[in-house]
Structure 1
Amino acid sequence: MLERVDGGGLQAYFSSMTVTPSARFRARILDVFPAHAAEQGWTDAAFKAAVAETGLSEGEAALACPRGAVDLFDAFAERADRAMLDRLDELDLDAMKIRQKVRAAVQVRLEAQAPYKQAARAMTRALSRPDRAPEATRLLWRTADRIWRALGDKSTDGNFYSKRAILSGVLASTYVRWFSDESEDHEATWAFLDARIENVMQFEKFKAQLKPVGEAAQSALGIAARFRYGR
């Protein structure tokens, strides 16, 4: 459970994690796996090729990843999250508006994976299988949660879930655009991201406008009920 909401707290959490032999072996495999995944997909063949490149034994590889390439889903996403948090820690977030903060967080997350774009695409395809939907949702939600915590979100009510659900959708759709983007410096992706965030902001304004109407409607129902039932 991550108790701190600031970027430094998350980094402290990561730093406090004990590095076991299995984690060290997994890190070595992950260092070389993306290149193989880019060519062979997120497959056992790519995993075996990566293990062979590292020089690890079958036993060490099994200790690191008992399920093979499947166990690298989490590790690959974790590494991108750490890089994202490092980048966010370098930004003056306090000087930004909320939409600028969210935009910066999503952008640095994608930029962190830019050197491994084809591997990220392969992972997304592998996670698109129906039986892997829970894992895909968990990883996406975790990234969204870490972004909001790094941005200082302290919500505990329904907003906690709605913020993460909406950001998960923004992340997923922006990744899809990024995978097909061949524009210079991925400008088309950032324009797409700006549009998605603007859609979210407009939706939030719309909800805010509906709230007084909803309260008025509830009051009207209460008055009508008193007339009908005398209470």
Structure 2
Amino acid sequence: MAIRTDKEKLIEAALGHAIFDGMNDKAIMAAARDLAMPPDLARVYLPQGGADLAAAYHRQGDAALRDWLADGGATGRFRDKITQAVMYRLEIADRELVRGGAAVLALPQHAALGAKLLWETADAVWDGLGDSSQDVNWYSKRATLSAVYGATALYWLGDDSPDLAGTRAFLDRRIEGVMRFEGIKSFARKLPGVAMLGDLATGWIRKPAERMLPGRIRPADKVEPAAQDNAGGA
């Protein structure tokens, strides 16, 4: 079992309070008291208060979604897999915590973070389904699914239908609209001159390079065993 960091313990405790107090400093400070953690340290871990707490909870859900997709949780046609992935992501979430997070992330100062989190969820879905796009489609797929997921999540927050039937129907309509748009786009690219113009406009756009995170070794930094032996004998 992985050892949790103090920050992870703080987030877990704060989420327990957030169900009643909302995603805010009050929940974080209550969690800090539970853990006998100095308030200043809690602010270091979550400097943006409720927004950081909401982001942490959202990313926990994305991590669970990635694991589920990696285990083959989505099956059937490709559009069915997208539907299943979006519904799974909603079903594993606590509605009250999502509602509290949405209220915080809707504030103007946190709008960019909210948009980033939607993009991360869309990226988790496409990555999990094996998307191999390298061009502008990498961006358009995630932008489109971000909008679909955001709208569906808002509908889900107010859905009291049995087995979330209303949310499923809403999502199906959104995806159907996307599929029609993709069909029109595919048809348009077959028209004389359209593909060439499209390539001129977006052909230079490429999928972003993998970010180098702390602790990750760049290929150029790798040392071959022989080089390591030589270095050790110097």
Q: TM-score range, shorter-chain basis?
A: 0.7 to 0.9
- Aligned counterparts of 1:195 and 1:89: Cα–Cα separation in 2: 26
1:105 to 59, 62, 85: 85
- Taking structure 1 as reference, are residues 181 and 35 closer, same or farther at Cα in structure 2, changes over 3 Å only? farther
> What's the TM-score once normalised by structure 1's chain length?
0.76
1:96 to 35, 53, 76: 76
| 3-state SS of paired residue (1:152) | coil
- Aligned counterparts of 2:146 and 2:23: Cα–Cα separation in 1: 22
Structure 1: where are the runs of 5+ without partners? 1-17, 220-231
Deviations 1:165-190 (A, max 9, x none): 00000110010011001112212111
How many pairs were matched up?
A: 196
- Aligned counterparts of 2:189 and 2:39: Cα–Cα separation in 1: 60
Q: Who is 1:67 aligned against?
A: 48
Q: Who is 2:201 aligned against?
A: none
2:154 to 157, 176, 187: 176
Residue type matched to 2:188 in 1? L
Please report how far the alpha carbon of residue 214 of structure 1 lies from its aligned counterpart in structure 2 after TM superposition. Answer: 5.6
8 Å CA contact 2:50, 2:104 repeated in 1: no
Q: Who is 2:137 aligned against?
A: 159
- Aligned counterparts of 1:45 and 1:134: Cα–Cα separation in 2: 23
Structure 2: where are the runs of 5+ without partners? 198-234
- Taking structure 1 as reference, are residues 45 and 204 closer, same or farther at Cα in structure 2, changes over 3 Å only? same
Q: Who is 2:67 aligned against?
A: 86
- Aligned counterparts of 1:217 and 1:84: Cα–Cα separation in 2: 36
2:17 to 36, 40, 48: 36
Residue type matched to 1:64 in 2? Y
Q: Who is 1:210 aligned against?
A: 188
Q: Which has the higher contact order (CA 8 A, sep 6+)?
A: 1
- Aligned counterparts of 1:162 and 1:218: Cα–Cα separation in 2: 19
Please report how far the alpha carbon of residue 37 of structure 1 lies from its aligned counterpart in structure 2 after TM superposition. Answer: 2.2
> What's the TM-score once normalised by structure 2's chain length?
0.75
Q: Which has the higher helix share?
A: 1
Residue type matched to 2:82 in 1? V
Please report how far the alpha carbon of residue 143 of structure 1 lies from its aligned counterpart in structure 2 after TM superposition. Answer: 1.4
- Aligned counterparts of 1:169 and 1:67: Cα–Cα separation in 2: 25
1:148 to 100, 104, 126: 126
Please report how far the alpha carbon of residue 48 of structure 1 lies from its aligned counterpart in structure 2 after TM superposition. Answer: 1.5
- Aligned counterparts of 1:73 and 1:194: Cα–Cα separation in 2: 27
Q: Which moved more, 1:138-147 or 1:49-58?
A: 49-58
Deviations 1:33-77 (A, max 9, x none): 234223222211122222223443335423422333332233112
- Aligned counterparts of 2:23 and 2:52: Cα–Cα separation in 1: 11
- Aligned counterparts of 2:128 and 2:169: Cα–Cα separation in 1: 23
Q: Which moved more, 1:200-209 or 1:23-32?
A: 23-32
- Aligned counterparts of 1:200 and 1:78: Cα–Cα separation in 2: 25
Residue type matched to 2:25 in 1? D
Residue type matched to 1:204 in 2? E
Q: Percent identity?
A: 35
Please report how far the alpha carbon of residue 110 of structure 1 lies from its aligned counterpart in structure 2 after TM superposition. Answer: 0.8
Residue type matched to 2:120 in 1? R
Q: Which moved more, 1:179-188 or 1:42-51?
A: 42-51
Please report how far the alpha carbon of residue 218 of structure 1 lies from its aligned counterpart in structure 2 after TM superposition. Answer: 7.7
Q: Which moved more, 1:71-80 or 1:102-111?
A: 71-80
